[in-house]
Structure 1
């Protein structure tokens, strides 16, 4: 199975197992200083991307420092404190102290570190590309043997202005980041203020851009670079950093959202059947995040436009979750999609069910009129 993770979900507790031997490796985690008012005034870093990676680094025995362009306390965008990895992190006072008093990048000596991990979040687009101290850190690690340069989501924005001689260091490097289709679907609040389109800028610097379907995990390892496409590539990226440092990542229990995304990827790749997925959810639904699967179906429909294959995959995912998770707006979208797929009877059945339940009655009656 491909490791995939998807968006806007809730998870059950995860069990992490610590590396039993001392590995004497040190990683610098870098976050944006730009955030203000939990992302409402200015976007900051993504807490989920930080906490998940931090836990993996910690449980694999790495020493961790945290830096930001300005140093001092940093502010994340609003996040769900009930997610298991966030709860674990928030209960760790020593870990929290790293965010309350980050190192200023100007005070960081790159020689002290074996790896850098640049956390994403939309704030990364506004300050990380223009921080000369961070550029020096990245450049020094680029020239130092045995180091790993990593980032996730919008974190690769930190690479776009770093050069080695006349060439950008990412020239001819395979990498990934939050991509244009993801910005179109999920980045509407701040994307118009971005100084550049990240995917387009990376390619203009000579990078070989790789991506998978939106909001599924994609991790690219190319030389000393390790990059992840989106927030749901975080665990895979962090574990790839561990592996690139010559360690074997310790075993852990996957989050429910990861397990759900494996299921989504299997269905999209046709390596598992809908019948298998129906039986699996029927037996083990508590091991999955049902709203996550439904949400992916919703966005798959929105992103597919006139692509019937994509529309069919989206409807399959929504149908799969319907016995376990009912949302009237999602059902109405499903009905409208069935009309575009010339499945009018299915659309009619959904509209009648909504009317019977007195949900979106006016919209459903209008849809029935169109069908007649």
Structure 2
């Protein structure tokens, strides 16, 4: 099928007005994310069954018609493995497409294949072999070659017919709403921003640190995340996580001591060395002046909970039983990662899910009704949820 490169406001409006008359549109994005915190949009592909367009975001000024289309509840937006696409839409337009049908998730529910790639799905459902040779293109470079544009067009040309097959099958199975609920929950997670004072929870090996070291890590992680957001830099391009941990572990008090941190590049030492040393000094002074009851509690791990293995096995049994009842694979209902997320949220006062102000996956969307009764029987009354409980435990960190 022929495609059109759209690079004017007028033509984008015409395309979007026509697409709003369709029951569903296939979407994809091409982006670059090498040094930046947020993905940089390079191209948008759209196919509504009649028009296949490649929208150039570097040329267009007025994206309001596209944003309106994204929020049109009457038009289903079809994407495949849409996690990074949602981040791209949020970064570019501060919206996510709704309602959203993810063909990868639908294929998993239907047991066609769990986490199946787009090319494999198209081969399975449409009998077409796709060339993935341009997947590493710099989508911000111009001009894009005909080969690159054709590759991009194929990412939505076969997505719509694949969706039509999946939509029919999943409707027959009575699980169509699962897909929309799953994507709504995913969008909520993508919108959630980690408060600066909880950024330390995402640093590996934080459980090894004492309360004093953890107080330093809290301030360092908050500073790093603040700089990353301000400058749109990937976190490790501000300061590598492993080196951030070592600073909190060894508490250097001089540039000479800081330079002995393993692998710390000289340019990072020059750029941020004095700042990091001041953060360490200030955090240590703060810790010394705190009453003991105000110290950060050490980070807990599930493996240190005596009943963890037994309880995890019980949750797996619940998932397996529900999967049999629902006629789906247990992996679709609950991965080990999702089970661990639930147990941390249920048992620990301070953990990432609660810090983000969201609910665990097994207590969200379509899974909540399935899992809730059995989980309460197993774990007891549900703990208080949300960021409010945490805000009383940890002070806000000023950066």
| Coarse TM-score class (shorter-chain normalised) | under 0.3
Larger Rg: 2
Q: Answer 1 or 2: which has greater helix percent.
A: 2
| TM-score normalised to structure 2 length | 0.25
